[in-house]
Amino acid sequence: MRKILAAAATLGVASLGVIVPATGAQAASAACDRAWQDGGSGYLFAYNHTHCSGYLGKASGNDSDWGDSAGGFRGSDDNRASSVVHKGTSGMAVKFYSVKGYKGGHTCLKKSEYYMSSLYGHRFTSSSSVNDNISSHKWVWESACSKFLDS
C-alpha cells in the first residue's frame, strides 16, 4: 500500500512540473530547492544555517583553507557550514574535510544529491560531526570517497 501511495504522490508532483532535488535521506527544503535551481552552475555553495540560509560563500574550485583570505571561502567561513549545495557541472563529488589542507576526516556530497539541507547528525570518517566543522574541500571522483553525506 505504501508503494502505491508513494507512486501516486510522485506522479502527482511530476504532473505539476515540480522538481524537488532531494533524497529520502534529507528533508525537503524550499530554500535549498531555490538555491539549487537559482544558483550559478559550476559552484559549491555553503550556508551558515540549515535549509540554505545565512549564505557563507561559493567556490568553483578547491579550497584548502576555509579560514584564510584566498579561495571561495574566507575568514570566518571556517567551521561554520550547516548546509551545502552542489551545483558542479563536471559530475564530480565534493569532498569535505574536517581539517584545513585536505586533512582529517572526510565525507562527500555526490552530484546526484544536489544539496544537504542540514549537516546535523552527519559524521566525517573520523567520527566527528560535519555540522560547523568543514575546514577545506575539493572536487573528486566518487571513487575517491569512502563516506557520503547521504549514507
pTM: 0.81
Task: Name the phi and psi angles at 21, rounded to 5.
Answer: -80, 75
The whole-number pLDDT of residue 122 equals 97
The whole-number pLDDT of residue 2 equals 32
Instruction: Give pLDDT tens digits for 114-147.
Output: 999 999 999 999 999 999 999 999 999 999 999 9
Sheet holding 83-86, edge to edge: 53-59, 44-49, 83-86, 115-116
How sure is the predictor about 79, in pLDDT bands with cuts at 50, 70 and 90?
very high
Between CA 56 and CA 49 the distance in angstroms is: 9
Instruction: Give pLDDT tens digits for 16-67.
Output: 344 444 443 344 579 999 999 988 899 999 999 999 999 999 999 999 999 9
